[in-house]
A and B are shown apart, each in its own frame.
Chain A
Amino acid sequence: MNLLRVSGSPHVHTDNSVKKIMYGVVYAMVPAIMVSVYFFGLDAVRVIVLSVVACMLVEFLIQKYVLKTTITIWDGSAMITGILLAFNVPSNLPWWIIMIGAIVSIGVAKMSFGGLGKNMFNPALVGRVFLLISFPVQMTSWPIPVPIGGTALTDAITGPTPLGIMKEGLAAGKTVQDIMPDIPNYVQNLMTGFQGGSLGEVSAIALILGAIYMLIRKIITWHTPGAYIGSVVIFSGILWLVDPSQYVDPLFHLVTGGMMLGVFYMATDMVSSPMSAKGQLIFGAGAGILTILIRVFGAYPEGVSFAILIMNGFVPLIDRAFKPVRFGEMVKG
């Protein structure tokens, strides 16, 4: 017979684990992967596989030879970073830029802080922003999606994203109504993903499908995405009501660019978001306002990644300031 075990209570444990959570996120991204392959073809497969392998390899090398700790590349977190990084780049990106992105994501943003659970910023976003600043040309020449068996929207090989078209148009002094015809098949195509942009961010529908899966599995809570979307709608809605000729309507903001990807997959990253429900609401709302600020008033057409990274930096403060509601605070309810 075995020796009896002695430990403090509780003696039972949920069957949830870090690994299950991480792979849950990976499964949630499958629809978006499929859509990206549909629109961008083999290039999408190439970028995703390369990015995932590179991220896991970098993590392996660092854990094995630099930190000399246990190898945890199969816990799924490096895989998520790899997929998210691939989602955030155009499908025609050269392989060596993807490698650099992986090294920055995993090496700088994750492992230098001590690995999973200790990084302050979302690794994939750090990689993406690093690439965006270092290789602006390659990172912003988005290929026009060509559905398998379908035809492209224009004859050009690459083109700007709807957000880019909008930004340039407004800068040139046109009104929103003037520009709108340049953005093809507005709601319908934007929702399904028939738009120029990075790999994974094009299809709002696929991303929302994955998000619903994560919500059901309780991998994410509604707080961060809810507050994020809410603040985007309210803030951009106010601007739109003030002057519809200069400011786009909220729905446009929601379905274009990396909004859905950022809201459901990157702002909700457990490691770099606040712990309490209250904190998550603040975090989401802050990121939403920053996104619109950057999109409308900033130099870049897209602001999701910057907004989330900036809010990541505030997380320790948010955690300190916004404690959960303690039991007994409402005396005699």
Chain B
Amino acid sequence: METLMSLLVGLFFTIGTYLILSKNLLRIILGTSIITHGVHLLILTMGGLKNGGPPLLGESFAAFTDSLPQALILTSIVINFAVTALFLVLSYRAYKALGTVDVEQLREVDNE
């Protein structure tokens, strides 16, 4: 299962990197989002996949699943959500002000 997850994480990173290297701003933003999702899966895998019961008092399992990675992912999802929202709004604003979402053309915007 861990191997499968690792491959999936690799796939996410590949797609994300491909999108970030494209010229369209929207694709770039989606690329960062996909990479972050890859990172979340990585944290989950690294913390050890399900290998015990839920870590609750009163349950009688021999082993408990580590709940910390899930807490980390939850925090990270919230942060990623906020950043992506801000990034999208800013790119929309940039599109209205600069008239393009092509990064090649953004480079030519004069410095005034």
B and A form one assembly? no
